[in-house]
C-alpha cells in the first residue's frame, strides 16, 4: 500500500538517501537513478528550483523552532504518567498486561478548554473505527473540521510552518494551505472493500481497527480520554523518550476494547497543533521516508506514508499514516 515518492516535485537538490525509490540530487543522472520527471522539475528550465527543496538541516532547525513555539503544550504539572513495565522486544507481541495501573495518573483537563484542544476533541467521535464501513460525514462534522483548522491556524506554531512552506513555494496563500490541509488529512479514501472508510486524520489521531488489530491511534489525548472511560487498557511500554518536559515520546502496547496494538507510539503532552504541524511538515518534505528532526536538542524521526491508490486535486496524495518513531 505504501511506496516512496516517485517524483522530483519539490525535491531538487535534496541529499541522497538509500531509502528513496528514485533520486533528485545532482549526481542521479550519472548513476541513472533519477526519477522520471527529474529533467522536467530539476533541469535548467525546471519547475522546482533547488532552493525550493527542503534540506535535512532546515528540518532540524524548523522542528526546533516549532518545539519552542508550542505555547499550548502541557506543563510538567499538567500531566503525570505511570509507564510501569518496560517491555523487552520479545514481549511486545504476547498480549500480556504487565502494568496493573493506568498509564495516566493525572491530566489537568483545563488544557482541554483551550480552543485547539476543544476543537480537536470534537473531531474524535466522528469516525467508525472498523475499516470497510463507509464514513458518513455530516454538515456538522464538516463544520468541526473547519473549526479545528481555523483554530490551529491562529497559533504561532502553524503560522510559522506556513511561512516556511510559502517561502519554499509550496503554497501561495494561507487559504491554499488550509484547503490542502483539509484534503490531505480529512479527505476520504478506501482501506477496505472499496468503501470510503478512512482518512489520515481518523487513522493517525482517532485510530482504526483492521483485521482484528488496532491500526494507527497515535494520539495521547485520545488515549487518555478512552483510558478514563475504561475502553483502553495500557499493557507496557518499549520506549520512553529522553525529554524531561513535554512533549515527550512513548512507545507502548495496549488494547482497545480487546483489539491489540503491539507497538504504538505517541507524543505525550504536546498540543494538537504540534503533532498536526510536525506530521504535515514531514509528509510534505519526506513522504514515504524517515523525516529526521530535533526537539529540545534531542534527535527523533517521524515516518509518514502517502496513500497511493487514490489522489485529489492534480495528483496530490492523501496521508495514509504518520507517527513518531521510537527506537
Q: Sheet holding 298-312: strands in order across?
A: 290-295, 298-312, 316-325
261, 292, 298, 309: the active-site residue: 261
261 is catalytic: yes
Q: Would strands 298-312 and 290-295 be described as parallel, antiparallel, or unpaired?
A: antiparallel
23, 41, 218, 237: the active-site residue: 218
23, 25, 73, 203: the active-site residue: 203
Residue 302 near residue 63 (C-beta atoms within 8 A): no
Angle (deg, nearest 10), helices 272-285 and 139-152: 90
218 is catalytic: yes
Continuous segment of H or E residues that includes residue 146: helix 139-152
Nearest of 312, 282, 52, 276 to residue 170 by alpha carbon: 52
**Cα 135–chain centre separation:** 21
* Contacts with 40 (C-beta within 8 Å, 6 or more apart), sequence order: 8, 46, 47
How far lies 307's CA from each of 191, 199, 220, in Å?
9, 10, 24
- The residues assigned a catalytic role are 203, 218, 261
Amino acid at each position: 500500500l505504501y511506496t516512496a515518492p516517485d517524483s522530483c516535485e519539490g525535491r531538487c537538490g535534496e541529499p541522497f538517501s538509500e531509502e528513496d525509490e528514485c533520486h533528485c540530487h545532482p549526481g542521479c543522472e550519472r548513476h541513472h537513478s533519477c526519477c522520471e520527471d527529474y529533467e522536467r522539475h530539476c533541469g535548467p528550465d525546471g519547475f522546482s528550483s533547488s532552493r525550493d527543496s527542503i534540506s535535512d538541516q532546515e528540518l532540524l532547525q524548523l522542528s526546533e523552532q516549532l518545539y519552542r513555539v508550542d505555547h499550548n503544550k502541557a506543563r510538567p504539572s499538567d500531566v503525570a504518567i505511570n509507564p510501569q513495565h518496560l517491555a523487552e522486544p520479545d514481549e511486545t507481541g504476547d498480549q500480556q498486561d504487565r502494568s496493573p495501573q493506568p498509564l495516566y495518573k493525572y491530566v489537568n483537563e483545563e488544557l482541554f478548554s483551550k480552543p485547539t484542544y476543544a476543537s480537536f476533541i470534537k473531531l474524535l467521535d466522528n469516525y467508525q473505527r472498523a475499516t470497510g464501513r463507509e464514513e458518513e460525514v455530516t454538515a456538522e462534522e464538516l463544520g468541526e473540521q473547519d473549526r479545528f483548522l481555523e483554530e490551529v491556524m491562529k497559533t504561532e506554531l502553524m503560522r510559522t510552518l506556513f511561512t516556511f512552506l510559502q517561502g519554499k513555494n509550496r503554497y501561495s496563500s494561507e487559504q491554499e494551505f488550509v484547503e490542502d490541509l483539509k484534503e490531505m488529512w480529512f479527505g476520504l479514501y478506501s482501506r477496505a472493500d472499496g468503501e470510503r472508510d478512512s482518512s489520515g486524520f481518523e487513522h493517525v489521531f482517532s485510530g482504526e481497527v483492521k483485521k482484528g488489530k488496532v491500526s494507527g491511534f497515535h494520539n495521547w489525548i485520545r488515549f487518555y480520554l478512552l483510558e478514563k472511560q475504561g475502553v483502553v487498557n495500557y499493557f507496557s511500554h518499549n520506549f520512553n523518550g529522553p525529554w524531561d518536559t513535554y512533549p515527550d515520546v512513548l512507545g507502548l502496547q495496549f488494547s482497545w476494547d480487546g483489539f491489540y496494538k503491539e507497538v504504538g507510539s505517541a507524543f505525550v503532552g504536546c498540543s494538537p497543533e504540534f503533532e498536526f504541524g510536525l506530521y504535515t511538515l514531514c509528509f510534505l518534505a519526506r513522504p514515504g521516508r524517515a523525516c529526521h528532526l530535533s526537539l529540545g536538542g534531542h534527535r527523533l524521526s517521524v515516518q509518514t506514508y502517502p496513500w497511493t491508490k487514490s489522489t485529489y486535486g492534480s495528483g496530490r496524495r492523501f496521508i495514509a499514516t504518520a507517527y513518531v518513531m521510537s527506537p
